[in-house]
Structure 1
Amino acid sequence: MAGSSLIARRYSITLGLIALAILAFFVWRIWQVPAVEVERVERALLVQNVVAAGRVIATSRAQVGVEITGTVAERFVKEGDPVKQGDLLLTLRADELKARLAEAQASLDNLRNSRRPQAMSALEQSRLELEQAQREAQRRLDLVKTRSIATELYEKAAQAEAAARAKAEQAGIVADALAPGASEERILLERVRAAEAALNKTELRAQFDGLVLTREVEPGDQVQPGRVLFEIARTDDAEVLVPVDERNLGLLAVGQKATCIADAFPTERFAARVKSIAPAIDPQRGTVDVRLSIDQLADYLREDMTVTATITTAEVPNATLVPNDALRDVHGNSANVLVLQLNKAVQRPVKLGLRGLTQSQVLDGLQAGETVITSSLVKAGDRVRANYVD
């Protein structure tokens, strides 16, 4: 009995050891299966972006010059200076033009303060003399009728009346010409305005708020119309010009939102929006120019500053997402993935929807929670074990 019990125990121990050996063998075999990177299929918000580098540009630049030939007396701005509308950029020497203006103004003042009062006084005096001559002629006419005086005396009075009337008419003509708003004053006013306009042309002023990009003039330079002295870029309405790969043209639309980061200020972001898309493709670069309007112009932005723009072209909430690294044999919206099932890579076709930079939407073929293989070295049918990527 004791011998039989001992044999039974030894038999049980032997079976246990054999079972452990078999289990260890299978564990060893599994452990020998190569580990590959995998990720789980998840459901989340998918945002499709187009990322491209561009630069800040002004909506317009002005090449500024003078309208008259002259010598620069003083320059007030240089490259990089901000200017406001109406700010003085430079002045020309204007001694002769100032003298012309002073002469024209003096002539106008002389009209108003001297010649016009004198003409009005002469007109009044001539009218009084005419009235006196008329009364004398009438008195003598009455006397002639009663034969109290000779006819020759009346004739002399009539001649004096005619002369007084001619003098009064001439004084009236002169007074009318010198009256406010009459021809003489209008002529002198035009001379003053012309002299003022010529003098104003000796002052070159900014026509809008902007930034001086270039200046090609110094005090003492002789300048003339047609020569560019300053180049000024508008700062009140800048935008971002982004050349985008033409393959993304179908994703872009006017009004799409964008987030921009200037290379010089990587911690700062500013919002923008697609303003326009060029109607033609650049054949040399294979890009299409996209203009972004800036929602709120930041003080640190400068002309030609390099900017990275991320344009949001689409969003899908709660989408079934697969990493792009897991996609194989992509043709349009069709692709294949390798799904990890019982330590074996199983190929499965999927239908794709929205494509993102790192993930894509799966419309059919996968469920959330399944594990897909992202390693490109694995083939369908290979035995592998999972190495999950965080």
Structure 2
Amino acid sequence: MPDFLTRLIERRWLVAGMVLAVLAGGWGAWRWWNGPEVPVALVERSDVVQTVVASGRVESPLRVDIGSQVTGTVAAIPVAEGQSVSAGQRLITLEHSEASASVEQAQASVAQARARLRQIRELALPVALQASRQAEATLTTTQRQFARTRALQARGFVGQAQLDDAQRSLDVAQSQLRTAQLQVATSRNDGSDMLLASTALQQAEASLRVAQAKLGYTAITAPTAGTLIARNVEPGDVVQPGKVLMVLSPVGKTQLVVQIDERNLATVRLGQAALAAADAYPARRFTATVAYLNPSVDPQRGSVAVKLDVAAPPDWLRQDMTVSVDIDVARRTATLVAPTAAVRDMTGAQPWVIVVRNGRAVRQVVQTGIRGAGKVEILAGLQAGEQVLSGLLATVEDGDRVRPVAMAGIK
């Protein structure tokens, strides 16, 4: 009896093992028949935006180099680097005692020239007119005396010597009148003395303007409102013309200057919108607009310079900050898309995907459109709702049986 029970138990385990072997074989055969599990994603309709990513720096369209027009010693610098200044605000003061003295000297010369001109108008001309009238009266009297003397000499009452004296007196009177008349002429507005005095006044006034200009050069001011982004001078320094003392970034348009790969040049156009972020504040994105495309390509880097206008720059944006820019070069709404990882040979003549149809992997040639973040537009070859292999599987070939396993939707 015990031997019988032992044999029965052994047979039960044998039967169980055989049953398990049959089940395992059936399970394996079923899996072999239906193929391996493969990750798939749905082809669906979605919005897609194609962007060109580039990096660059913040830049103002214009920078003003501040320098001195004269040689001098820096007396004071009433502003600091990074400070916002208004147009005409003083930035640097040079020592100006010599320039101030030159202005005072020029002012004295102007006053002297004006006094000389006034003297001619108020004194010299009236005196000359009076002298001319006196000379005319003297000449009239002398002419009468000469006439009487000549008449007396003709009658024999006076000798030749008296007539000669009368002639000399007449000549002197005529000469005095001519001198007085010349003095009147030179003292009038169009006379030589007046012209000389007027010219001297003009020269003195010109010298005063030069002296005042040189004095003005000792006060270096901001030509326009802006922000001082560099300072290369300290009080006590001796500065000379041509040396950059400060750099001013004028208030106005802020631009981003980036470099894009020349392969993307055909897709970037003026007016396209972009999102930018500074490396210092990566979470704070702001908008920009493509405003300039450099007509030449950098042969060393194979890149093209692009400038973008920032209409409303954030207050934390600084000159020369490093920025990253995503330029929207194309946009589609509710278009058919597939994961980028599912499309093979995307840059070739015939891109293709592996699509699951009736439980089998099918190689399908597709026509692609624009590419966005992780997805690509499908123009032909697929329909919405179809499943495509979302990754490259070396073990799956065209016609193989597969069991699709859905992945998360396209983002």
Give the TM-score category using the shorter length: 0.7 to 0.9
Deviation string 1:64-121 (CA, Å, 9 cap, x unpaired) is 3212221111112232222333222111111111111111112112322x22221112
Aligned to 1:63: 65
| Distance 1:92-1:316 versus aligned 2 partners, 3 A rule | same
Counterparts of residues 49-198 of structure 1 (less than 5 Å): 49-112=51-114, 114-120=115-121, 121-142=123-144, 144-145=146-147, 151-152=166-167, 153-172=169-188, 173-178=192-197, 182-198=198-214
Q: Which moved more, 1:216-225 or 1:261-270?
A: 261-270
Aligned to 2:408: 389
Offset at residue 325 of structure 1 (A)? 1.5
Deviation string 1:144-183 (CA, Å, 9 cap, x unpaired) is 44669973554443343233224334444323322xxx31
| C-alpha distance in structure 2 between counterparts of 1:54 and 1:382, whole Å | 50
Aligned to 1:369: 385
| C-alpha distance in structure 2 between counterparts of 1:254 and 1:163, whole Å | 83
Aligned to 1:230: 246
Deviation string 1:346-367 (CA, Å, 9 cap, x unpaired) is 2211111223232222221111
Instruction: State the one-letter code of the partner of 2:307.
Output: R
SS at the partner of 1:119?
helix
Instruction: State the one-letter code of the partner of 1:299.
Output: D
Aligned to 2:10: none
2:128·2:180 contact (CA, 8 Å) conserved in 1?
yes
SS at the partner of 2:244?
coil
Deviation string 1:344-390 (CA, Å, 9 cap, x unpaired) is 32221111122323222222111122222213236232412332313
Instruction: State the one-letter code of the partner of 2:120.
Output: A
| C-alpha distance in structure 2 between counterparts of 1:142 and 1:183, whole Å | 44
Find out whether 1:202 has 2:218 as its counterpart: yes
Offset at residue 184 of structure 1 (A)? 1.3
Deviation string 1:33-82 (CA, Å, 9 cap, x unpaired) is 65443222223433211122221123233333212221111112232222
| Distance 1:199-1:350 versus aligned 2 partners, 3 A rule | same
Q: Which moved more, 1:351-360 or 1:117-126?
A: 351-360
2:226·2:251 contact (CA, 8 Å) conserved in 1?
yes
TM-score normalised to the size of structure 1?
A: 0.82
Instruction: State the one-letter code of the partner of 2:118.
Output: P
| C-alpha distance in structure 2 between counterparts of 1:253 and 1:268, whole Å | 21
SS at the partner of 1:328?
coil
1:322·1:360 contact (CA, 8 Å) conserved in 2?
yes
SS at the partner of 1:225?
coil
Aligned to 1:280: 297
| C-alpha distance in structure 2 between counterparts of 1:323 and 1:366, whole Å | 13
| Distance 1:128-1:333 versus aligned 2 partners, 3 A rule | farther
2:40·2:404 contact (CA, 8 Å) conserved in 1?
no
Offset at residue 304 of structure 1 (A)? 1.3
Find out whether 1:379 has 2:396 as its counterpart: yes
Deviation string 1:119-142 (CA, Å, 9 cap, x unpaired) is 112112211220232133224434
| C-alpha distance in structure 2 between counterparts of 1:250 and 1:156, whole Å | 101
The share of aligned pairs that are identical, in percent, is: 31
SS at the partner of 1:239?
strand
Q: CA RMSD in A?
A: 3.0
- One of 266, 269, 272 as aligned partner of 1:250: 266
Instruction: State the one-letter code of the partner of 2:309.
Output: S
Instruction: State the one-letter code of the partner of 1:212.
Output: L
Deviation string 1:253-296 (CA, Å, 9 cap, x unpaired) is 3332222222333234122224113512353x443332223234
Deviation string 1:12-36 (CA, Å, 9 cap, x unpaired) is xxxxxxxxxx9xx78x957996544
2:227·2:251 contact (CA, 8 Å) conserved in 1?
yes
2:259·2:305 contact (CA, 8 Å) conserved in 1?
yes
Offset at residue 220 of structure 1 (A)? 1.4
Offset at residue 299 of structure 1 (A)? 3.1
| Distance 1:137-1:274 versus aligned 2 partners, 3 A rule | closer
